[in-house]
Amino acid sequence: MSSNNKIEYIAREELESLQFRRLKDTLERVYKSSPFYRKMFKENGLNPSKFKSLKDLSLIPFTTRQDLRDNFPYGLLSVPLEKVIRLHTSTGTTGKPKAVLFTQKDIDQASELIARSMRMTGAKRDDVFQNMMSYGLFTGGLIFHYGAEKLGLLVIPAGAGNTERQIQLMRDFKTTVIHITPSYALYLADVMEDMGLDPKHDLSLRIAYLGAEPYSEETRVKIQDIFGVDAYNSYGLSEMNGPGVAFECREKEGMHLWEDNFIMEIIDPSTGKVLEDGEEGELVLTSINREAMPILRYRTGDLTYIYPERCRCGRTHRRIARLKGRVDDMFIVRGVNVFPSEIERVLMSLPEVGRNYQIVLEREKNLDKLRVRVEVKGDLFNGSLEHLRKLEDRIRTRLRSELMLTPQVELVEAGSLPRTTGKAKRVIDKRKI
Ligand code: AMP
Ligand code: ZN
């Protein structure tokens, strides 16, 4: 422990009293200045003086994504517009985006959390950091960028895409640390191999931060092997600053959620009941260190659980488990609830399976049909047909025994499924069209 990371090891009682002080201060500010929260408090007979301990948080109704959309763009703003210096938006699938506003202090604080997270994983001032997340309205670009600068690394703002230039930059500047979506990392490896390059030996990478979308432990292992890096899971959402909300330490067993900035709860997504540590449910976050736009009890839609035990690293901030996906990613085929990340886990544990897959849902004569399209390793596809049939059978058997699914499995050539350089879209649900 050094003087600049004391907060990571703060005693639990001290952490909780800091949380309460910051919560009170936040409640007073939103009550005074945010039109949305002022109305919510009035309608529920609340005012900040009613809050005597952290437990009283449960008096406040949840804030939902719909609330953010309905009050777009300034309804949750808690400071005068002249104090706001930055806008980001959240990647919504439909309708209006969600606007997220920052003051200078908010940007500084968000950068601090990134710097803290990077330092925790061993990134140092003499590292060369290439940020391969999209710059612009998405927080993964600029927020991470500012954090890496704060820590003092050489930052290459490469953005997402333009893969050959990425590779050139990594080779020219001997990039050691990257921030990238897991699906883009696998694509990048494919492109390098097509160019006759070896991602492990022709690059100088040592650390990769993987986030912005759900992925399995098996995918992490794959990326570590391909690039010869230490890969760390990074979680965040625009509504809570973007990246830097929770991050893995070197133990890589769950992500420390920075509780000096956020209060976390896990709820049953159907009843709203608050669950115990260890029980899986929807993550609900309250920002307690935000100026422009604090959000109270925000339903993230993300499924996880809190590790009840203290981490071996000694940090006191509790950890959340790898995200299973979003509540609304789940689909139901013939009565079986499935998360894409569970299918991914099975696929990526098979050595013959390549780096990309797609899940297609169709309805035929009123019956749901699930088709899993799987890329196989390049040379396999040119092998015997019998070999491929056997592999299809193995994948089907594994999916049936582990997830109770009986999908149609379609093997396709490496590189033939659509790619994105940002967040992957894995599920094509033709039943809704
Ligand atoms: P955005 O607000 O556009 O940055 O999207 C945030 C969402 O991305 C989160 O609510 C999660 O659903 C997803 N996400 C971000 N990081 C991760 C991660 N490490 N693992 C799984 N999902 C993630
Ligand atoms: Zn730890």
Give ligand 1 pocket residues (Cβ under 6 A).
90-91, 139, 211-214, 233-238, 242, 300, 302, 323, 326
Ligand 1 atom 20 nearest Cα = 214
Burial profile 116-147: b = 16 or more Cβ within 10 angstroms, e = fewer: bbbbbbebeeebbbbbbbbeebbbbbbbbbbb
What's the pLDDT at 92?
Answer: 59
Ligand 1 atom 21 nearest Cα = 214
Using CA atoms, how far residue 431 sits from 89, 102, 360, 364, 399, in Å, is 29, 40, 9, 9, 21
What is the distance between the alpha carbons of residues 429 and 286, in angstroms, rounded to a whole number? 33
Residue 244 main-chain phi, psi, to 5 deg? 100, 10
CA 180–ligand 1 middle distance (angstroms)? 13
Angle at 385 between CA 381 and CA 390, to 5 degrees: 95
Domain boundary assignment for the chain: 1-327, 330-432
Under-50 pLDDT residues of the chain: none
What's the pLDDT at 22?
Answer: 98
- What letter represents residue 285's amino acid? L
Ligand 1 atom 4 nearest Cα = 237
- The atom number, within ligand 1, closest to the CA of 140 reads 4
Helix (H, G, I), strand (E, B) or coil at 175: coil
Give the DSSP H/E element, type plus range, for residue 300.
strand 298-304
Pocket test for ligand 1, best of 237, 300, 320, 339 (most atoms within 8 A of CB): 237
What's the pLDDT at 20?
Answer: 98
The sign of the dihedral angle between the CA atoms of 37, 39, 41, 47 is positive
Angle at 231 between CA 226 and CA 233, to 5 degrees: 135
CA 102–ligand 2 middle distance (angstroms)? 29
Pocket test for ligand 1, best of 210, 302, 344 (most atoms within 8 A of CB): 302
If you count them, how many residues does the chain have? 433
Structural contact between residues 171 and 202, judged by C-beta atoms closer than 8 angstroms:
yes
CA 155–ligand 2 middle distance (angstroms)? 26
Using CA atoms, how far residue 46 sits from 13, 57, 60, 64, 288, in Å, is 26, 11, 8, 19, 18
Q: What is the pLDDT of residues 265-318, one digit of tens each?
A: 999 999 999 999 999 999 999 999 999 999 999 999 999 999 999 999 999 999
What's the pLDDT at 166?
Answer: 97
- What letter represents residue 277's amino acid? D
CA 231–ligand 2 middle distance (angstroms)? 15
CA 283–ligand 1 middle distance (angstroms)? 12
Q: Which fold has domain 1-327?
A: Rossmann fold (3.40.50)
Q: 330-432, superfamily in CATH?
A: ANL, C-terminal domain (3.30.300.30)
